[in-house]
Amino acid sequence: MSQSDDLEPFRALLGATGVLTEPGMIRPYCRDHRELMEGATPAVLRPRTVEEVQGLVRLARSGGFGLVPQGGNTGYVGGATPEPGRRQCVVSLERMARIRSVDPLGFTLACDAGTILAEAQAAAAGHGLFLPLSLGSEGSCRLGGNIGTNAGGLQVLRYGMTRDLVLGIEAVLADGSLFSDMRHLRKNNIGIDLKQAFIGAEGALGIVTGVVLKLWPAQAHRATAWLQLAADAPVPEIAATVRRETADLASTFELISAASLALVGEMRGADPGLQAGPGGAVLLELQSSSARIPLEEVLLGTLEELLERGFLEDAVLAQSEAQRRAMWTIRETIPEAEKHAGGSVKHDIAVPVSRIADFLERGGALLAERLPGVRLSFYGHVGDGNIHYNLVVPPGEDRLAFTRAIEAGIAHDLYALAAELGGSFSAEYGIGRFKRDLLARYSDETRLALLAGVKNAFDPDGVMNAGIWFAQDR
C-alpha cells in the first residue's frame, strides 16, 4: 500500500480539507517557530470535533502512525514539530476553536483547546471578565499549546502560570478514549488530580481538546510606571517592596536591561523615548477591578519609597493610555528587536527570586571572560525569578552555527550556574525536542523513571508526541 493509501481512512473521517499532504501546505506545520528544526510529516490532520480526534487517534494506532498535537506552533523548544523518521502526523487543533461557555457569576470560561488565546481573552472581556494569561504570541498561540507548555507570560506575578488558571480539561487518550474533566470547580479533591498531568506535558499524554479556565473581574483600572534602576539596585528587594506596598495588586514587574532597550532603539532607528538607569529598567503595572482602590496613589507612594531608599534614579508614571502603550511596546518588541539585530540564542532561566542578582552578576562575569564581544540582551519576569538571558548573534555570523556553538558551550555553564543557585534551565518554555539533553543532565534517575512511568500509564505504546523529553524511547 502506498503512503497516500495509508491516509485514505483519515480522509474518510476528516474530509479532504481535514488532511493536508501537499508539501507547500504542510511546511509551516513542520517547522518550529524559531526556524531551528525542519520536521517532516506524512500528513497534517485537522479535526473539527472531539469525536473526530478520537477517531483519528484510533486510525493512527491501527495504521502505525505517531501523532504530534499542535496549537498555534509558537513554541520555542520544538515540542510541536514532527521528527523526520518517526512517521508522525501533526494533529492541528486550529479548526476546534469554539468558545463553549462563559459564566460571569462563576468566573469561568470553557472552550475548545484550539481557541486562540486572544479570542478567549476577548470572550471573557465581552462579559466584563478578565483572563489574565498574556503572552507575546497571544494573537496566534492556542490554549491547548498554552496548557501543554504550562505557559507563563507577562502577568504570572499576580495570577500565576497556566496551571493556576486551569479548572477543567478534556483530552483524548492514546487508545481513543476520552478523559473528560470539564469541571468549573475551584475545589474537587477526588484522588490524584489527573488533569494536572496534562499541564506542561507537551502533548505526550494525550490530545487536549477542551479546557475550563478561571477568570477574574475585569481589571478596568490600571496604573503603570517605568522605573530607572540605580546602580546595583537590589532587584529582589525592590520586587518584595512592590508586593508589600501594593498589596499584591502588581500584575507585572518586568526587568529590561539597558542592552535590550538599546536593541529596540536600533530597530526603530530612534530613541525609544524611555531610559534605563545604570541597573536597567523595570516596567511595573498595577491592576484593580475596583474604582474604590486609589491605584495611582498606591503606585506613587510605592515609587516614593523606592526613590527614598536609593533604589531608583527616576521613575515615570504613565499619564495616558498612549504613554502606557509606549512602555508596553518597548517590552513587547524586544524579541523582534533581537531578531532585527540578527537573532539571538535564548536561555529561559529561572532562579529563586532572591538569587537573581547572583545569577546576573556571575552570568555576566562568565560572558565577559568567555565571549567578550557578544551582546547580552536580558529581560523578563523577574518578579517570578524568570530571566530571558539572550545572546545576540554577532554581525556576520551564521545564526544556526552560532546557536549550535553557544548551546554546546557556554549555555551549559549558564545552566550549571542556574542549577547551583537552585534554579532551572527551563522556566516557561518546556523541554520539547531541543532540551532533551538538558532534561537528562539535570534530572536524577528517580525523576526520569517516574516521568517515563507516568507517560507509560497514559500512553503505553508511545503514540503521543514520541521524541519529546527522551531522544530514545524509554
What is the nearest approach in angstroms of a second copy to the Cβ of residue 91? 19
Regarding 101 and contact with a second copy (CB under 8 A), the answer is no
Regarding 317 and contact with a second copy (CB under 8 A), the answer is no
Q: Binding residue for a second copy (CB under 8 A) from 192, 231, 270, 322?
A: 192
Regarding 91 and contact with a second copy (CB under 8 A), the answer is no
Regarding 419 and contact with a second copy (CB under 8 A), the answer is no
Choice between 110 and 283, CB closer to a second copy: 110
Q: Distance between CA atoms of 286 and 307, rounded to whole angstroms?
A: 18
Regarding 161 and contact with a second copy (CB under 8 A), the answer is yes
By rule CB under 8 A, what string of x and - marks binding of each residue 345-364 to a second copy? Answer: -----xxxxxx---------
Q: Distance between CA atoms of 176 and 458, rounded to whole angstroms?
A: 11
What is the nearest approach in angstroms of a second copy to the Cβ of residue 45? 22
What pairing do the DSSP bridges indicate for beta strands 88-92 and 44-45?
parallel
Choice between 121 and 150, CB closer to a second copy: 150
Cell numbers at 99, concatenated = 468558545
Stretch that binds a second copy, among 21-29, 194-202, 312-320, 337-345 (CB under 8 A): 194-202
Residue length of the chain? 474
Q: Binding residue for a second copy (CB under 8 A) from 62, 189, 320, 472?
A: 189
Tell which positions 272-311 bind a second copy, by CB under 8 A. 288-290, 292-294, 297-298, 301-302
Regarding 462 and contact with a second copy (CB under 8 A), the answer is no
Are 263 and 392 a contacting pair, CB within 8 Å? yes
Residues 6+ apart with CB under 8 A from 442: 415, 419, 424, 425
The SS3 of residue 64 is coil
Regarding 467 and contact with a second copy (CB under 8 A), the answer is no
What is the nearest approach in angstroms of a second copy to the Cβ of residue 268? 30
The SS3 of residue 313 is strand
Tell which positions 373-412 bind a second copy, by CB under 8 A. 381, 384-386
- Alpha carbon distances (Å) from 447 to 35, 451, 453, 454: 31, 6, 10, 11
Regarding 244 and contact with a second copy (CB under 8 A), the answer is yes
- Alpha carbon distances (Å) from 452 to 457, 467, 472: 9, 12, 11
Beta bridge partners of 381: none
Regarding 232 and contact with a second copy (CB under 8 A), the answer is no
Choice between 14 and 235, CB closer to a second copy: 235
Stretch that binds a second copy, among 47-55, 116-124, 323-331, 423-431 (CB under 8 A): 423-431
* Range 457-463 contact pairs with CB under 8 angstroms and sequence separation of 24 or more: 458/173, 458/174, 458/197, 458/204, 458/205, 458/206, 459/173, 459/174, 459/204, 459/205, 459/206, 460/174, 461/61, 461/174, 462/66, 463/57, 463/60, 463/61, 463/66, 463/67, 463/174
Are 131 and 220 a contacting pair, CB within 8 Å? no
Regarding 427 and contact with a second copy (CB under 8 A), the answer is yes
Choice between 154 and 393, CB closer to a second copy: 154
Rounded CA Rg of the chain: 23
Q: Binding residue for a second copy (CB under 8 A) from 450, 471, 473, 474?
A: 450
Tell which positions 130-149 bind a second copy, by CB under 8 A. 149
Regarding 209 and contact with a second copy (CB under 8 A), the answer is no
What is the nearest approach in angstroms of a second copy to the Cβ of residue 428? 5
How many Cα atoms sit within 13 Å of 217 on the Cβ side?
7
